[in-house]
Structure 1
Amino acid sequence: MNDKVWHRNLIILWFGAFMSEGAISLIVPIMPLFLKTLGNYSNKEINLLTGMIFSITFLIKAIISPLWGKISDQKGHKPMLLKAAGGLTFCCLLISIAPNIWIIFLARAIQGVFSGYINNSESMIAAQVPDNKNGFALGTLATGDTAGLLCGPIIGGILATGFGFRGTFIIAGLLMGLVFLLSLILVKENFQPLPKKQVVGILETMREQEFPKIIIIIFIITMIIQATNNAVNPIISLYLADILHNPSNLTLISGIISSIPGIATIMSATYFGHLGDRYGQTKLLSAALILGILTYIPQIFITNIWVFSFLRFLTGFSIAALLPAAQAILTLETDHKSLGRIFSYNQTFQAMGNVLGMTLSSIVSAYLGYSQMFLLVVILEIIGLTLVPMTKRHSSNIFSNKTSL
């Protein structure tokens, strides 16, 4: 694909990622507070229910993503973008009229079936850009994602204060409707479908790769990255209520604090993408995990709101580099004719990471306290750091025909 087309698509998908992530993230800090209005629940129950409601989306996504990956190989990425934007529009509007927690749970499950706008944006761009521009393109796309992550919680806090929780969900649904229309009209894809006989399962797909072990390790690292990135935000309003003693403007404060890592991410993601292209994505991935570990350790002990905010800002620099670096490695190690399938498997591991992070953080927070939740994140990032050296090209093909499966 020529430079003009992929550059235009990158701009459009950047805006789509911004709107999509904004619509999703504006929900995050207000959801626990909204749940409190639907019944007489204790803080422990709200912690657990919040974990369940956020996790079900990603659990369903983990199961369904390989199917969407096969369909994308036959139909293209653009239909997947439309599917995701339309599905999230419906789910936000359903939550806005939900009479109880179980309807919200159902809506979040449906969202899991139809999710994947940002993932499909990433795989579309990865398939279209030259190999030497992967880090730049994915890093740039990540700034759209994180700009939405930055603005969403703040906007959510403001909207919830002015229009109430239900009005906020209606606005989120309308934003996703706009994303659907922009993707339908403006995104271009010159897609050549694979014949059905060439669409194979995961084992056959992995056998097609030159270094499948590297791909598997990246899947696992991606899961850990998502677990650490998504362990904090779902319960941050409850954490802030605990350390600030339930301030009257909690929704706005929660939105601002949730957004702080996004400021650092927007400032640095494209620059880190250039660094990865120049010095190697593996080195960038290791450095980002080390930075994450160093910024999460003090969060175990610090309860001062200003110091905590500064540490969350530093965490944003780590977040800026982690997922784009992992995805750039994955793109470089994948045969391009199976890129849709490989990225769909990666989406499954991303979703599993979200389930892991949100579930463990809600359980740990409910039974052991919030400081232990930050300790959990540190442990996960240390595990990820020990796996990075295994992404170097010294591994044998464990899916070769000579290998017994």
Structure 2
Amino acid sequence: METWKRNLYILMVSQFLVMGAMSMIIPFLPLYLRELGMTDPDKTQLWSGLIFGINFLSAFLFAPVWGSLADKVGRRIMVLRSGFGMAIVIFLTGLAASPLQLLLLRLLNGTVSGFIPASISLTATNTPKEKSGYALGLLQSGGVAGSIMGPFIGGVLAEVVGFRSIFFLTSAVIFLATVVVLVFVKEEVKPDPKVARKGFFSEGSFILHQKPLLFLFSVGFMLQFAMVAPMPQMSLFVSQLGAPGGYIAFFAGLVVAVTGLANMLASPFLGRFGDRHGSERVLFYSMIGTALLFIPQAWVGNVWQLLGLRFLLGLCVGGLLPSLHSLIRKHAPDGKESTAYGYSTSATFLGNMLGPITGGFLTGIIGIRGLFLITSMMLLIGAWWLKLGLNHRKKTSKQSVSRKVSSA
């Protein structure tokens, strides 16, 4: 088997394990706070939000740092750094004795995190360019599958072994996934040690002055912001629609799961389609399709209609991030791919932070049905912005070519 294929399959399974392990603990943080002695419901809600968000805040700040370092020392070592680092921090989280300790450990976890973006960078740089869309789509399928299974497995384990034991198990699974990467994944395309490297801020300034990348980073932010904004309100919306049999939690989870399932099925197919016909085309039409499928969700009358629309939505979502990552690989300067992915990851983390906060605020004013329409509008603006940025680059490239021809 070719090295890039072996790396891809191993990293896909590792992403499944890591995302499954991480998503096992996220839904139960409020309950873990109760176990730590916090009984006031208002304080529990406040601290749950802080503990959830602080992880994204530190990850947002440090993603460019780790990306820049990866271009200097290698991408594989960044996967190992993140995997072993998270395994240690999550193990310590299971020993937390107070909400403050839990908050600080989540802050530290975001600081050392980066297994997923480092895996994306490693896959993108060590895969033939004509296969990168398919590879990144398959990689996303592994992560999405883990995020679907994780909450279900975590819920079962919480009843059987308790919350603290879930942290220890999560740590062990991430440690195992990282050991597999250490033993079996090989990095063939490594940073060239002869290339002169600038400082972190100089390299960051250079990347941020690449107009196509700047457009793609802003599109990544808009995508993530729009997709996660309605998520915290979904269980309330299912309750409003009237869950069959009164099983609100089950159907709220199912609404999320069917989107993830469709995403997982569509990602490799749309990635391969992007390799053949252009990732920018797949990303543009996926954004349009996602935007249009949010509109009828504002008028659904029951949970079954919502489930059908969310499944169709997931099919379009499967073309978003793999295509975006493929385009970043295409437009990133040689030798600075991981730096570009670092800033892209930072932009998506910012969307993860601001999306739920803004969505919650807007829901209080216009309701979740109105939020679906706002989300649709934002994605349409994002598609227009993407088209504008890529067309500008094509015009610039044509002008530079015509100048060279005329001067010759």
Residues 298, 88 of structure 1: alpha-carbon distance in 2 compared, 3 angstrom cutoff: farther
Matched, 1:318 2:316: yes
**Conserved in 2, the CA contact under 8 Å of 1:154 and 1:256?**
no
Aligned partners of 2:341 and 2:197: how far apart in 1? 17
Aligned partners of 2:159 and 2:374: how far apart in 1? 32
Match of 2:279 among 273, 278, 281: 281
* 1:13 aligned counterpart, secondary structure: helix
Deviations 1:50-109 (A, max 9, x none): 443322212211211222122212221122112221232234334434445433322221
What's the % identity of the aligned pairs? 28
**Which residue number corresponds to residue 360 of structure 1?**
358
* 2:258 aligned counterpart, secondary structure: helix
CA deviation after TM superposition for structure 1 residue 218, in Å:
0.3
RMSD of aligned residue pairs (Cα, Å)? 3.1
Aligned partners of 1:372 and 1:49: how far apart in 2? 28
* 2:212 aligned counterpart, secondary structure: helix
CA deviation after TM superposition for structure 1 residue 320, in Å:
0.8
**Which residue number corresponds to residue 405 of structure 2?**
none
**Conserved in 2, the CA contact under 8 Å of 1:237 and 1:250?**
yes
Aligned partners of 1:27 and 1:303: how far apart in 2? 33
* 1:129 aligned counterpart, secondary structure: coil
**Which residue number corresponds to residue 406 of structure 2?**
none
Match of 1:188 among 174, 186, 198: 186
**Which residue number corresponds to residue 136 of structure 2?**
138
**Conserved in 1, the CA contact under 8 Å of 2:362 and 2:371?**
yes
Runs (5+) with no aligned partner, structure 2: 401-408
Residues 76, 97 of structure 1: alpha-carbon distance in 2 compared, 3 angstrom cutoff: same
**Conserved in 1, the CA contact under 8 Å of 2:130 and 2:275?**
yes
Deviations 1:323-375 (A, max 9, x none): 11111111111222111211111121121121121332344456764444434
Match of 1:170 among 150, 168, 173: 168
Moved more, 160-169 or 248-257: 248-257
**Which residue number corresponds to residue 118 of structure 1?**
116
Aligned partners of 1:372 and 1:103: how far apart in 2? 38
Match of 1:17 among 15, 29, 42: 15
CA deviation after TM superposition for structure 1 residue 267, in Å:
1.4
Deviations 1:173-224 (A, max 9, x none): 2221211221222221133454584244455566589x92111100111111
Q: In the alignment, residue 115 of structure 1 is paired with which amino acid?
A: S
Moved more, 118-127 or 220-229: 220-229
Residues 85, 366 of structure 1: alpha-carbon distance in 2 compared, 3 angstrom cutoff: farther
Aligned residues: 393
Moved more, 218-227 or 251-260: 251-260
Aligned partners of 1:100 and 1:137: how far apart in 2? 42
**Conserved in 1, the CA contact under 8 Å of 2:230 and 2:368?**
no
**Conserved in 2, the CA contact under 8 Å of 1:29 and 1:255?**
no
Map 1:312-351 to 2 at 5 A: 312-351=310-349
TM-score by length of 1: 0.85
Runs (5+) with no aligned partner, structure 1: 401-405
**Which residue number corresponds to residue 198 of structure 1?**
197
Q: In the alignment, residue 39 of structure 2 is paired with which amino acid?
A: G
Deviations 1:154-177 (A, max 9, x none): 222333343343333333222212
Residues 184, 295 of structure 1: alpha-carbon distance in 2 compared, 3 angstrom cutoff: same
Aligned partners of 2:225 and 2:14: how far apart in 1? 24
**Conserved in 1, the CA contact under 8 Å of 2:54 and 2:110?**
yes
**Which residue number corresponds to residue 403 of structure 1?**
none
Deviations 1:361-394 (A, max 9, x none): 3444567644444344323312211212122333
Q: In the alignment, residue 270 of structure 2 is paired with which amino acid?
A: F
Q: In the alignment, residue 290 of structure 1 is paired with which amino acid?
A: I
